Structures are given as structure tokens and as C-alpha cells.
A and B are shown apart, each in its own frame.
Chain A
Amino acid sequence: MKLPEEELLSSGHRGCAGCGASIGVRLALKALGRNTVAISATGCLEVMTTPYPETSWEIPWIHVAFENAGAVASGVESALRIQGKDDVNVVAFGGDGGTVDIGLQSLSGAMERGHNLIYICYDNEAYMNTGIQRSGATPFGASTTTSPQGKNSFGEDQHKKDMPMIMAAHGIPYVATASISYPQDFMKKVKKAAEIDGPAYIHLNQPCTTGWGYDSSKTIELGKLAVETGAWILYEIENGEFNLTHNLRKRKPVTDYLGAQKRFKHLQDKEKEEIQKYIDAQCAKVGIE
């Protein structure tokens, strides 16, 4: 697959070296093309791509507040629609905090009302912008500044909120999970989301060198490990029909994934086993061995 060379999120932004979010947005915009309006929730993406007086965005872009990317996107889409501008893609980007926590209410409304828009959650599994606090998408066992590991704590004590399934429960035409380490799969899904009439939700797993604690050259590797161990499952739900989009023949043990990251370094065998058990169960649910 030949990627379009045009960059709609230009380089020179303030993302960390090896930032997974910027890779994700670049790919999404390559799939969508220039005829696109982007809405950002508060978060890393907003802050790093728009340091005054610069912007990385080569397309119209708006940030309003933390909790309302879904609502702002609804407004943009409605205004374009009543003017007959049906060919413009409206895409909202929210981090995991902006999506699964504070933005859930406005996102749910946008999905339920049937706006023709794409919402992409770039999920790095914690509030990285304010300094690595846990979110509803932080996985079990991860140490963050508000779920710190220590003598009496192994870190986050809850499993990740199953956000794509919450979106699927809205009965919208398209829901997908994706990973920045599988760019062709991700871009195919973004294109599909754009072609479908109605709301589409893509939950994008994107490793974060700062928050997860790994060498900045390993971002793609980490994303692959998440998929290869079954910690992140790639699928799509098109008009209610569930399909796995990555054929996982032999799962690697989750310890391969955990061991590569500082946020899980403190875990004892007991917690590692619990995580493996959880992943086994999640995989079994969707027919992965």
C-alpha cells in the first residue's frame, strides 16, 4: 500500500520523539485527505500541535474544551450539512481521558443523534498531558501518578473500560479498533468510516514513550506487541456485524509486552497471571485462541 506523501499534520510539532499520537493523526489525515475539518479535545495532541504562534494542522482545526469534542463536532457537521457541504469529512480526535472519561457524555450524544462524523480516540492509556494520571482506559497493573505502585499498591486496580463496545451499543453503523503499528489496517478503517453515512468510531491504540516508559525508538514495536499478545484486539463492527481484522495465529505471552515497559516493571507474578487470565478471557470472547 502506497501512502499519500502529503502531510496534513506537518512536522516540527512539540510531540515527544517517538510520539504515537502524531503517527496516528498523520495516518488518519492521509486517509481522509485535505477536504477535512478536525476537532480536538483537550490533550497532548491539542497542546503539542499548536504551540503559539505555530500550528501543525494543514486543515481547518478547532479546539473548544476538554469535555465537548463530540458536541463541537456535532455542531460543525450540522452546519456543513444544512449548507449542502456533504463532501467534507468531519473528524474529532480525543485522547483516552477526553473520550472515555470527561468526553463520554457529549460523545454519546453525538453518536446517538446520528451525526455524519468520525470520532477517533487516540488511546495512550492515561492522562499524559498533565503528567501521567490514570484514566478509565488505564490497564490493570499500570503505575501512574494517581495509581502509583508502592508497598501497598500494585498500581491501577481496574481493567480498561471497554469503550469500543460502549460505542457499539449505540447501534452506530461503524465501530473499529486499530493500532498505529498496523497502518494499512488503520487507514482502511478510517476510509471506511468516511464513506459510511452516519457516525463512526475508531479506537486507536498508540504507545506513549513518556507514559509507558520505553525507548522512543520502540513505539511501533510496542504497538505490535500489544496486538501480538492479545492485549489489544483489532476488529471492526460494520452495521452490527463483528469481524476480526487481524489474524492472530499464535499469541505471545503478555509478559513479553509487560516486560518492555516501565509502567509494569513492578508487577509480581500474581498480577501478571491475572492480566494473562483477563486477556485470555477477552480473546476467547471474540474467538481468538
Chain B
Amino acid sequence: MVKELFIQGNEACAEGALKAGCRFFAGYPITPSTEVAETLAIKLPAYKGSFVQMEDEIGAAGAIIGGSWGGSKSMTATSGPGFSLMQENIGYAFMSETPIVIVDVQRGSPSTGQPTMVGQGDMMQARWGSHGDYEPIALSPSSVQEFFDFTVEAFNLAEKFRTPVFVMADEIVGHMREKIIIPDKIDIVPRKMPESQKDFLPFKNNGINPMPSFGEGFDIHVTGLTHDERGYPDANNPKTHDTLVRRLSSKILDNKKDIVSTQKDFCEEADIVVVSYGAPFRSALNAVNIARDDGLKVGSFKLNTPWPFPEAEIREISKNASHIIVVEMNLGQIYWEVERVACSNSKTHLIGKIGGEIPKPNEILAEIKKVGGN
């Protein structure tokens, strides 16, 4: 039965997690993400799931890695300061190919920053926060409905590619209330289990491997050390390390077509394109619509998945657009990615708003008119 709910973004995230099959949540209270934990603390037991409040965010990330290897789809939710504490374990999850979902409801930053105000300052931390080379997947919802949908999608991508996935939300989307529709049928990707214990290699050198769980008879050795196909440490072997780390990257990059998601509005033949993600998209699309009413050739490009970065799509846009305006709530993070890809074709501009307020449609409209020479 299709269900309609009028709920908060953080609650929608919790509903999406339950729908996607999340049965284990470990977390630590932090504004503005706390309602995700509070909702799951109440609801998970009814799904025969488990909610554990950890002693800190280091523990939260550790526990969901353990929960995932224990055989449960696992998630945590946090905000910037907690996301910082999780970074060591995040790198571990990439290295050990542990499917987990980490929701970051971003607030004003750096440091303690603005706990109750909105920000998007963690985007590059999602990309490069842990040490070493890895390719993260991150989704950024711009509405309560998308917070639900993208949380489901995050679990699906995590299982499909056996990797950590971030939902990079923001305080506006987390605390806003909107109507959402929970469809009758939702595609859920179940965990791919190995077919037989015989000759099974959990870290085989090609592509994405099925994942055994503890307690099912498999010999499992999970480590953050450089490991061979069996999972055993082989840290002094250059070839083993090279093969492993390149595979971890290529299993994402080779499948970008399946992962990358964008929303283009009026981008064909647009001379000016406004790029955004998360809550600022709402203002961006509004500004684009007003500008189009004024006869300007403007389009909107939304990154549903800031990571992996949609390079091909941005390059394509840049072929027609003289100007690309990036709108984000930081001092330029995704902007430099756009500049890197588009600079030979388009002039890029940044509306980087910090302080805890969303960029308003009239601010974006003014920039559109300025770069358009009006």
C-alpha cells in the first residue's frame, strides 16, 4: 500500500533505512542529526533490529562495521564533529570492503561551528577525510522525499558495491517537514552471499566479491592491513597492495554509469547552468525558473551523487554553457571539482554561502543576471 506521511527529514531517513533493511544502528547523539537515532531507538526493536547508543562516534563507526560483518545492514548518523571522529574507521571500511551507511546531517563548520545551523562544509571530508586512496559514494538529498529515497539507495549501493556509502544531508533537509510518499514496492538489494565455502575468496582480485557473514561457517579474516585474496595480511608485498587498492578504486570508477545520478532541468542549450546539491538546489531551481521567465537561457544541474563526481556530465554541459555557477553552503568545495572539469570550456562562478543560511533565490538570480550581462 502506498503510504503518505508528513514527517521531518531525519525521520524520513530513519524510515528509509528500515525500508532498505537496516536492522542495526549504532550512534552517538549530535545536533542536527539526533532525530535519526531517536526514531530508530523507538522503531528498530519492532523490526527485530537493534539500536545501540555508543560511547562516541569512533565507537559508532566501529560498531556498524562489526554489525555489517555480523550479517546485518548497518547504519549510523552524525554531523561534522562526529564525522571527523569516524574517519579512521571509515578508511578501514573502504579497505575491508564493508557495506555500511553513514548519514552526515551537515551543520555550520569547522569544529563545533554552528550546531543548529545549516552548512555543507563536509563535502571534501567525505571525499578525502580518511588517509589513502579510495573512491567514496555520496548522495545529497534536497527534500524530505529524497532523504527517504537516497537513504534506501545508499543501502542498495553499499550492498551492490560492498563499500561504505555516505548520505551527505544538511540541517535544512534534516529538520524540514514535508509530505513524502512511500511507494508500495521498493527495490532492495540484498546482500550477495558466497555460494559455497569451498575455495571461496572474500577479497578476490576482480571486481566486487560476495560477502560472507560471521557465524555461517566461513573462515573469515578481516583486516585493515593490506591483504591478499583470502584476507590475510601481506603488507610488505608491493604487488598485493597495488592490486588491492587499484581494485577498490576501479570497482567504483568502472561502474560510475550505474552509480552517478544527476537531475538536469533546462540544461540543453542553456548558456548559464546553475550547479547545486542538497537544500540549495531548492533555491537554485527557483532562481532558474524566474530567470527563464525573464527570457534568459538558464538551466539547473543537480548532483544527486556528489561522489563519485559526475565529470562526464559536467564536461558535456560545459560544451554549451558559457557560464557555470556553483551554489553551495561552504567556501568552495564542489566548486573546484566543477572548475577542474569545465574550465577549458566555461567560466565558472561560486556562490559560497556560509553562516547558517541557505542561499536565497534572489541572490542566485542576481548572479545569473550579472554573469549573463543583464
Contact = CB atoms under 8 A, between A and B. Distances in A.
Contacts of B37: 133, 146
B42 A148 contact: yes
B243 interface: no
Contact of B53 (A131, A134, A152): A134
A170 B34 CA distance: 34
A146 B51 contact: yes
A128 B111 CA distance: 21
Given A66-B81, A127-B29, A130-B30, A42 B56 contact: no
Interface in B24-58: 28-31, 34, 37-38, 41-42, 45, 51, 53-57
A131 B42 contact: no
Counting chain A CB atoms within 10 Å of each CB, the highest count among B29, B38, B41, B81 belongs to: B29
A125 interface: no
Chain B contact surface mostly: mixed
B112 A133 contact: no
Contacts of B81: 65-66
Given A65-B111, A66-B81, A133-B34, A102 B28 contact: yes
B349 to A, nearest CB: 32
A216 interface: no
Nearest to A98: B56
Q: Interface size class for chain B?
A: 20 to 34
Interface in A49-89: 63, 65-67
Chain A contact surface mostly: loop
B45 A130 contact: no
B354 interface: no
B111 to A, nearest CB: 7
A145 interface: yes
B225 interface: no
Contacts of A282: none
17 contacts: A42-B112, A65-B81, A65-B111, A66-B81, A101-B28, A101-B54, A101-B56, A102-B28, A130-B29, A130-B30, A130-B34, A133-B29, A133-B37, A147-B53, A148-B42, A152-B45, A153-B45
Interface of B: 28-31, 34, 37-38, 41-42, 45, 51, 53-57, 81, 85, 111-112
